[in-house]
């Protein structure tokens, strides 16, 4: 398997336009599937994740050899993404536990693009690729093709919110697939401010949190420099705190270009990525009332850029 960097989107606001299509934004784990003599899965960090999702592999074996697909892995409960269950699946490495979770909390692979079908399709227009995808891929219980709506982005966005989704993806109908590029041909439109940020330090905790941390110090990259954007101290379960603290790697100096002046702050190597939600960004560029949502094992810290919140 030769790993492929996925095409990425910029942030934007709801709009309607001819020449664009709109897909539901699931919020799952990005996954590129390589179908050859074996089926192999990779995440957006180019790491192999095939062993974690045997229930998906079983269905993808029926797809034609030579296909490479792009989509999202998700665990659904009553039609909505279960972040906690997805994180548990992402973090699991023990075969017995993986086999159990594949039955107890099965994942679904939502496919939205096809990059190869015997020949490279990345230079073909998006709508042509989607037409080829429908011909090549047979849907099943665990593998499905993502629906889309042409032109009517604002109405589709409102419908997505009513369904409990986090937003929509807008894509230019004639766009080529640009691996590894954050392109303006794809626009991510979310219902509220959320961002994937890098942990660069923590504030010691009190009470039961004394063994873990009181809050995480967060940043995002701008031109290879980590910019401090705020701290988050709510939204964690005790298990999540324990797992995060267990992966801390101490640093003698702050990783931020603008380190906050906080008594007792401890600095960390910028290795951990977390997703947070916030009410807004202040005029000074800090997050207001951030809340921890989940850890992102699939995202490289360098991909957490400041343009998410500015």
3-state secondary structure (DSSP) of residue 168? strand
Put residue 271 in one of left, alpha, beta given phi > 0 → left and psi -120 to 50 → alpha: alpha
Are 174 and 126 in contact by the 8 Å Cβ rule? The answer is yes
**What is d(CA 159, CA 137) in angstroms, rounded to the nearest whole number?**
27
* Residue 284 confidence class, pLDDT cut points 50, 70, 90: confident
Q: What is the pLDDT of residues 112-168, one digit of tens each?
A: 999 999 999 999 999 999 999 999 999 999 999 999 999 999 999 999 988 888 889
How far apart are alpha carbons 3 and 41 in whole angstroms? 9
Which pLDDT score is estimated for 93?
87
Q: List every span in the chain annotated with CATH 3.30.470.30.
A: 8-190
Bridge partner list, 228: 219
Per-residue pLDDT at 310 exceeds 80? no
Domain 193-308 annotated CATH 3.20.20.100 = no
What burial class does residue 31 get, using C-beta atoms within 10 Å of its C-beta: 0-12 exposed, 13-18 middle, 19+ buried? buried
- Residue 141 half-sphere exposure, CB side, CA atoms within 13 Å? 6
CATH 2.40.50.140 in the chain, residue ranges: 193-308
Question: Could you give the 3-state DSSP secondary structure of residue 110?
Answer: strand
Encode pLDDT of 193-232 as tens digits: 789 999 999 999 988 888 999 999 999 999 899 999 999 9
Please report, for residues 117, 197, 222, the alpha-carbon distance to residue 270 in angstroms, rounded to integers and kept in the order given.
39, 10, 14
* Predicted local confidence at residue 11, as pLDDT: 82
pLDDT at position 84 is 82
Mean pLDDT, the chain, whole residue set: 93
Pick among 3.40.50.720, 3.40.50.300, 3.30.470.30, 3.20.20.80: CATH of 8-190? 3.30.470.30
* pLDDT (tens digit per residue) in 42-64: 999 999 999 999 999 999 999 99
- Are 113 and 23 in contact, with CB atoms under 8 Å apart? no
Distance CA 122, CA 126 (A): 9
Confidence of residue 190 (pLDDT cuts 50, 70, 90): confident
Altogether, the residues listed in the chain come to a count of 310
Q: Inform me whether the pLDDT recorded for 192 exceeds 80.
A: no
């Amino acid at each position: 398997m030769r790993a492929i960097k996925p095409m990425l989107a910029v942030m934007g606001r709801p709009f309607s336009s001819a020449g664009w299509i709109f897909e539901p934004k699931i919020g799952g784990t990005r996954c590129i599937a390589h179908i050859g003599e074996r089926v192999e899965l990779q995440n957006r960090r180019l790491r192999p994740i095939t062993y974690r999702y045997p229930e998906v592999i079983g269905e993808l074996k029926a797809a034609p050899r030579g296909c490479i697909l792009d989509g999202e892995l998700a665990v659904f409960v009553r039609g909505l993404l279960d972040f906690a269950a997805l994180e548990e699946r992402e973090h699991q490495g023990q075969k017995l536990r993986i086999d159990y979770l594949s039955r107890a909390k099965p994942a679904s692979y939502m496919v939205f693009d096809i990059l190869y079908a015997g020949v490279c399709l990345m230079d073909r227009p998006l709508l042509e690729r989607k037409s080829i995808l429908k011909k090549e891929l047979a849907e099943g219980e665990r593998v499905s093709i993502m629906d889309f709506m042409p032109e009517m982005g604002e109405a589709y966005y409102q419908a997505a919110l009513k369904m409990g989704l986090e937003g929509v993806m807008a894509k230019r109908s004639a766009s080529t697939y640009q691996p590894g590029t954050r392109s303006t041909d794809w626009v991510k439109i979310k219902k509220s401010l959320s961002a994937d940020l890098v942990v660069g330090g923590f504030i010691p905790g009190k009470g039961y949190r004394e063994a873990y941390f009181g809050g995480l110090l967060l940043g995002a990259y701008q031109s290879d420099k980590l910019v401090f954007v705020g701290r988050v101290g709510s939204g964690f379960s005790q298990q999540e705190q324990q797992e995060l603290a267990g992966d801390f790697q101490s640093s003698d100096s702050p990783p931020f270009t603008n380190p906050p002046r906080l008594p007792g702050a401890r600095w960390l190597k910028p290795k951990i990525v977390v997703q947070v939600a916030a009410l807004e960004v202040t005029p000074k560029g800090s997050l207001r009332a951030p809340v921890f949502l989940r850890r992102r094992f699939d995202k490289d810290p360098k991909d957490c850029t400041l343009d998410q919140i500015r």
